[in-house]
Structure formats: C-alpha cells, structure tokens
A = this chain, B = another copy of it.
Amino acid sequence: MSVIEDIDPVMAAAAAAAPAAGAATPATRAGWLDAVAKALDACADELVGIADRETRLGGARLSGELVRTTNQLRFFGRIAVEGSYLEVCIDHADPAAVPPRPDLRRMLRPLGPVAVFAASNFPFAFSVAGGDTASALAVGCPVVVKAHPGHPELSRRVAGIMAAALADAGAPDGVFGMVEGFESGPALVTHPTTSAVAFTGSTAGGRALFDLAVGRPDPIPFHGELGSINPVVVLSAADAARGGELADGLAASMLSGVGQFCTKPGVVFVPRRSKVESSIRVTGPLPTMLTPAIQAAFERGIADLISTPGVEVICGDPGGPVVLAADDVAVIRHPALLRTEVFGPVTLLVRYSGEGLSEALRLLEGSLTATVHAEPSDPVEAVSAQLEPLVGRLLFDGWPTGVAVAWSQHHGGPWPASTSQFTSVGATAVRRFLRPVVYQSAPDALLPPALREHNPWGIPRRVDGRIDLPPRMAG
C-alpha cells in the first residue's frame, strides 16, 4: 500500500466533513474549540507528564504552554464569533452608475481541508492542537495533522482527546485527523484533497514541501514558518547605560527552551568593547535537546561557526550553551554567519564600529523579528528603518522570545522567515485558510447568513463603502 493510499481514508473523511464544517455557524465552531480546550485542560497532568518524558522541556514550561494552547483554542473561537474575519462587504445595486452596478456581496469562505505540520519545539502550542489547527477549525476547515516524530505518544494522546471532544460536541466526523511517518508529509502536500498547508520547521524541510505544494498541477497555498536569525542591535548609549542588564536578558532569552525557539536571538550587534560582551555569562552542560537529530545539527552548526575565521568563544562551552563573537569585518567577509540559523543555545555577538553596523545589517536576510536596544541619544531611527523591511516584528528594548497570542500579533516575515504574507500566530492567522467569494444579485434567501440584508449574525460589515457596526459594537 503506498503512502498516498495510506492517508486516503483520513483525507476522504476530511473532504466529507468540509461542507458541514464550512456551513456550521461561527458560534458552533467556537463550541467545538471550547470543548477541545476543556478536555485538554482536564487531562493537564497526564499530558504534561507525557510531554516532559518526550521533550525534556520541564513541567513548568510545559504546563504554561498547555494553558497557552487551550487559551488559544478559545481565542480563535472568539475571533470567529466576532465575525470581522469574514470581511463582509456589501455594495447595493446602483442602477444609476455607468454601467449600472449590480448588487455585490463579498465574504470569505473556508478553503477546505488543511494539512498542518506540527513542530518539535512547542509540543502543545505548535503541534496537534496548536495555533494552526485552531485557526483552521475556527473558520470551518477540516484539519489533518502530520504529527512530529519528536513527541509521538503525546501527539496520539492529544489527537485522541481532541477527536473524542469534537465528536461529543457534535462536530462532523472527519473534521480532524492525524497521520504519522516521514513519507506521509509529502503525501499530504500532494494529495488532491489538501487545499492549503501550514508548516513550522526548518528552512530545508519547509522549502522541500513548499516546492511540492507549488509544483502541483493545481498549486495550493503553503504557509510555512521557516528559519529566522532574529538580529538584535545594541546601540552604544544603551550598552553603556545598561550593558550588564542587557547581557542577563540576552542570556535568558537565548537559553530559554534550550535555545529551541524560532525567535531565539541568533546574532547580536554590540559596540566594540561592549559591556554586553564583558558581562554575559552562560554556563553548564547542554540540557537534553528535543531530538538526537536536533542535537547533532546543533553540534554541526557550532562547529561550522567556530571554524569560520574570526569567530571566537566568549563564554560557555562549544559542546553546550555558548556565546561566540566576531568583528564586523569578519561577518562582512563571511555573510553566512548572518544567515545560518543554528537551533539551540548559541548566539553570535558581532562587534561593530563606524559604518560596520550598517554594512553588516545590509547582509541580513528576512527574519521573524529584529530588536533594537537604544537610549534617546542613540541613532535608533536610522537603525530601525534599516531593520523594518527585513522582519515581521520590530521590538524596542525587549527580547524576541515569547510571542503573545493577540489581535495585533504577527509571526512571519520576509523569506526565509515565512513563505507567505500571513502569520501563524494571532487573530489574522485565520486568513490563511479562507478565500473570497462574491454573490452577485443573489436573492436574500440564497445568501449565506453573513451576507443577508438584516445581518442575522450581528457582525461588523462594510455596506456601500462605510463600516457598519452592529449595535453591540458601536459607540
């Protein structure tokens, strides 16, 4: 039996569930997500135990991540019910226009079954019941998750709890499924039933799947969050004023989650002879990483960095958490230093002076985030103007790890940070799984409820060009 045949029953069930999932009201779908959240919360101790055995991320971190995950499920339910995500827009007929304009009513509709690739580093929040799954289900798309091999038992248990909770809540059979095994990944992306892909992982793996998605006879959207360097710039007055504190903040950010965050600060630009460099301390043996493959890649990455001329070890151990440094001239000569993500607890300080900072920044590729630490006397405006085109999130005087789930969040950025103009975290993550449809001159009874004249769902709409808020939202 080929892998395609292997996943066929799951995909057929997803396809069969799509019409009912798309026709369910946002309130109904929010109910499904709430039910899943409640069921996962009820099994928190068991789930955190399995997760810790499989990932070694620790009970405190994993408990927090599970809370974040179930809150995220409820969050996307609220986004669906609020209704702005439908982007409803109504233009009444204008017989006086030249040519006469018919009645046009636009809204977003679910794309259909979505393939979700779970990540290793957030076994709850970016995995089986994570943000991709929640945002797709919230807007009526069935989901088939490709489980990550780094936490198989947890994946199966979460999937079992989800499937039961969805069934109890009355969701259509097949609205959620899961497949495992390396070969099921390409099979999912190329399966005729799949209408979009959400992926979080490495640049190499993501690119290979992206190429399959866009190489299909019918290309489909591939929303990948791939590699990110997350440059940080410490300007000189900030270094002088609080370099010690910044060193502590940097160490905490690069070490958190054993450096296994997509927003880990990978390159930090500091003035020559900076307080950050002289103050930073990281010690200790390497904690167990997520998988042996990730640990091997970390070791190879460190070896590559250290073998580059001009790179030296500042503190820590090349076999464990480690801070490296190089002068701006060295990284300008070897720009791969600024472009190669090494997943794990390592960061590279780049010592700049004069034009070296601006020249080095020009060599950066796209990232999820960039950060500036500045005092009022620093040239922060010029530096942030140089960083903004490169990133999806620009931080001031903070650290990039930690991605709040909020209306305003954006977790994405120019290539290779992501493969589309969308986000995988925050309210607008739902937009990845929707497509516009316009109804022209449709009888009111044939319109989807969101488009009907009397606005039965009470959602915000644009009518004849003006934003029309329902009474509960106005004033």
Contacts and interface: CB of A to CB of B under 8 A. Distances in A.
Given A440-B398, A467-B469, A388 B210 contact: no
A360 interface: no
Interface stretch (A49-57, A129-137, A237-245, A458-466): A458-466
Given A396-B446, A467-B469, 14 more contacts: A19-B385, A99-B404, A104-B404, A106-B409, A219-B419, A221-B421, A392-B437, A393-B438, A394-B442, A395-B440, A421-B434, A421-B435, A460-B467, A475-B475
Interface string A378-422: 001100110011011111111000101011111010111001111
Contacts of A402: 99
Interface string A104-119: 1110010110000000
A389 B388 CA distance: 38
Interface stretch (A24-32, A84-92, A267-275, A284-292): A84-92
The 9 closest A-B pairs by CB, nearest first: A104-B408, A214-B214, A218-B415, A106-B408, A89-B408, A395-B440, A410-B438, A91-B408, A410-B436
Residue of A389, A402, A466 with highest tally of chain B CB at under 10 A: A389
Contact of A89 (B19, B384, B407): B407
Given A408-B105, A438-B410, A440-B393, A84 B467 contact: yes
14 contacts: A84-B462, A91-B407, A91-B409, A106-B408, A214-B219, A220-B415, A384-B446, A392-B437, A392-B438, A395-B440, A396-B446, A398-B440, A407-B465, A460-B467
A279 interface: no
B90 A408 contact: yes
A358 interface: no
B437 A406 contact: no
A95 interface: no
A317 to B, nearest CB: 30
| Copies assembled | 2
Contacts of A410: 106, 436-438
A440 B473 contact: no
A441 interface: yes
A334 interface: no
A443 interface: yes
Interface string A222-247: 00000000000000000000000000
